[in-house]
Structure 1
């Protein structure tokens, strides 16, 4: 769903540049530039999201209370899916750039599609979890905590089965060798009508879930008085989360809806860039802006610094200088690990 197709035989590079001339070498160069650019963006995203994800996941795992909260479990799951999506995206575009034509490209794309859908599903579950925790606090723990493990497993199973079914359905309609000949630059098969319609339906359902969740969340906050004129932080948080989720939902919806037409290459690539930036901001929006999580990360960092200091100094505490009151008023005692020393 988050992979972007480039057709070697159909793309018209100079239609983008408002020119009527076209050569095969120009087409090939333009395709290679797009594939290389996408691979680079995926790789940079993978490095950043993985680094931030490791830091956040370690912080959550080392805190017994945070490990039990659904919001942090979903956050860790969301960051893991984002990291894997960028990883498989990098692999897919690297294989395309190497012009390797093999059936395993379909497998990589299928896995990336499933993981990309998991990113959006966890995003919708995060919104739904927040809404349910605020609007139904008495039923929240009894209901949500009893289904959390089943939901996590179901996300992976359903998305993988969906991608596998789409590959099998479209392979029955097309000959794989014909796909290789028609689209040597990206021989993937999830571009038919069935895949497009199912993708649009899934994204629309997730978008509706997010919108409804935030509608009830805002209504409950307004009734409780959290969104008054003096509480700017709450309104700012809602706006930031709305923008972040919009940038996650709209680009895949646009890419899925417009299909693989060569005239929409610029639109697909622009939507891809927006989606990449949205993924890179997820650790910041949902992680570092969380006060509780940020405080735990700071405490953990302070403990690590103290531990490193103790190791480097052989567990010797810092020296303390104590002034003794004596008759001559000039005696100073220096307390160290070796005992007091008169000066």
Structure 2
């Protein structure tokens, strides 16, 4: 069996140098996970591995466990005598993560060590600018470069209108239009694929991520389903999976995400238009709500900025502000915001007294 080209797999000199710190161990890359086991690609081929007991008891959160895309140090390159053992994760150069559903205590790592994030959005009923803003904010923060991939262009009659709408909010981000109905429909993606590079496909369920990857592979490796009667795609991918493209690096397929809770976000890039407008506001701490000489409000009045985009900006800004805080800390922050908007504690006390006085008069 020929050795795996680990450099095509994304192994860089930085990872190689770090791996030398761990003698008698071998470097591999996590390609998938199922329950507590991991599929790891090594120079000699694929192995199934589990984390060591020492590693298990040293981690402080789910995000510290191996994830798809991680380079890890394992004890073997052949698992014919039993599962391999993962002893270390090498430093991550980029991380695409989201807040875990139903909890504020930890994050879910979607993929690591990625160079480009393909944010996939179909041009049918999945089309949603506000959701796209959320994806872009997380992608910019991940350390990878976002690229918007519009799928199912054959189902859209006003593609130019859609592209113009997206270009107005995805400043500095390349937009690609694709379809799986022709051999040329995915060619625009190929310029982002090259040896040693990792591209992650991110997006909602059924937008056609697996179909595009199959097109790039030239064969149906990943399961796909058609679209439903309501014009939405059917969810097929059930777990994240890293797939090698001979001489063209690797791609990572991910399950569709119904919710995308924010761990961290780079709003300076995803909302650079609002950030730049804010420099021309009269007040440095302008909230863009009611202050005089507000450049953001003027842009809305003049039709250069939509109210919906400003509301999305504030929503994401609040989410990132509260991230990592417990319920008591969040409540304190909200009270401080309220006090600030009311002119501080003195105004709040006066306000509270007036409410109590009014309630006594009305008998409440």
**TM-score, with normalisation over the residues of structure 1?**
0.23
Higher-RCO chain (CA-CA 8 Å, sequence separation at least 6): 1
**1 or 2, which has the higher helix percentage?**
1
**1 or 2, which has the higher strand percentage?**
2
**TM-score, with normalisation over the residues of structure 2?**
0.22
